[in-house]
Homo-oligomer: A and B are copies of this chain.
Amino acid sequence: MFALEIKNLSYSYPDRTPALEEINLKIKARKKTAILGTNGSGKTTLIYHINGIIPAREGSVTVLGLPVCKENLQRVRRAVGLLFDSPDNQMFSTTVSGDIAFGPRNLKLDPVIIDQKVHEAMRKVTIEDLADRPPYCLSLGQKKRAAIAGLLAMEPQILACDEPFSGLDPIVAGQFRDILDQLKVKGATLIYSTHDVNLAYAWADEVVIMKSGRVLAFSGFELLRNEALLQQASLPLPVLAQLFKDRAEKPRTVAEAAKVLDLQPQVRQAKNF
């Protein structure tokens, strides 16, 4: 079962900048798919197509079997939650809690349940103390956390996150990854863009490699061991892929690598990859 199918998708911005060319992708449900690519390779534009923020003009996008078109937009958007790359672009209410409640309110949920969801979401990213602050009076990372809470409160089936960890401090980023892993266990699909090849190597099931608006390759995380491919995409090899290139063991996380090398058996909570 595919969560997302993209066929022959091309897109140019109104000023004619080409952004996507002939994208074909089938993204598996209940998996973590990382999108990698240099600046301007089209990651954000692709993510915008997933819930019809940019409507597909050439080609088609299908989410959970539903074609993304005007008639299905509401259902698609209910299924797909989007996290924007800049939290400034995402928040507009006068208080953090009001902003988080915005999505659930649009779903016309009961006020008591909305309140619960909002508090639960704030607790998860530890911003309870920011509830009544205006979103533009926060630090960048606090804004990002608030934006994440807004996404979590909607409990979408598919989470499409554009650079979800940038700006977060490492501990919070680790907690957020744990939350996402739990959601995945419960059946959610995660699609995220990132510049961190090490993160993708350790924490993605599938990877999409983009270059100049095209998909260069799309497969399991092992793709990130392919030096020639990454070079073509102007991306570096993940550190662990590089270090263990000539060895049989292929650890993906630092903790695994430490074990292999017998460096330090009790590596606890290796929040860094």
Contacts and interface: CB of A to CB of B under 8 A. Distances in A.
A246 interface: yes
Contact of A235 (B166, B171, B245, B273): B171
Interface stretch (A61-69, A181-189, A260-268): A260-268
Interface string A218-247: 000000000000000011101100111111
Contacts of A234: 169, 171
Nearest to A45: B139
A267 B243 contact: yes
A199 to B, nearest CB: 11
Interface string A127-170: 00000010001111110110000000000000000010011111
Given A166-B166, A169-B195, A272 B44 contact: no
A106 interface: no
A44 B140 contact: yes
A86 interface: yes
Contact of A170 (B140, B163, B236, B242): B236
A3 to B, nearest CB: 25
Contact of A263 (B39, B243, B258, B271): B243
B272 A198 contact: yes
Interface string A1-41: 00000000000010101000000000000000000011110
A271 B236 contact: yes
Nearest to A171: B234
Most B CB contacts (10 A, CB to CB) among A145, A236, A254 go to A236
B197 A238 contact: no
Considering the complex of A and B, which 8 residue pairs feature the smallest CB-CB distances, nearest first? A39-B141, A38-B169, A236-B271, A40-B139, A85-B140, A239-B272, A166-B166, A243-B263
A88 interface: yes
A263 B239 contact: no
A85 B86 CA distance: 11
Nearest to A268: B242
A45 B139 CA distance: 9
A234 to B, nearest CB: 5
Contact of A39 (B39, B145, B197, B242): B145
A204 interface: no
